[in-house]
Amino acid sequence: MFDLLASINDQRRDTLTELISVYVSRLLDAVADLELSKVRGERFNGLHFAWAGTTLPGEPNYYRTQSAGLVIESDSNQSQSQSLA
């Protein structure tokens, strides 16, 4: 099985890590630091990322990032939806 995330460049890896950071920063600092440390380094290769829809602002899209113990999901299927990015 081809692991796409293992082959992405550093800029995209940093962008995905930043997205995860947005979500885990809502947790207590100690918990957020622990969760973020899980996706930095070797465990990054255990992440899975899925995207569906357009990349145009205000248009429907869906994404999901997951690994052992972590699931982040956004479903913006309404017309004129607001994007986090």
What are the start-end ranges of the E strands in the chain?
48-53, 61-67, 70-76
Domain boundaries, the chain: 4-75
CB 63 within 8 A of CB 76: no
pTM exceeds 0.95? no
Tens of pLDDT, residue by residue over 46-68, are 888 898 988 888 888 999 998 87
CB within 8 Å of 72: residues ≥ 6 apart: 19, 20, 23, 64, 65, 66
- Residue 81, pLDDT above cutoff 60: no
CA-based angle 79:74:27, to the nearest 5? 135
CB within 8 Å of 62: residues ≥ 6 apart: 50, 51, 52, 53, 73, 74, 75, 76, 77
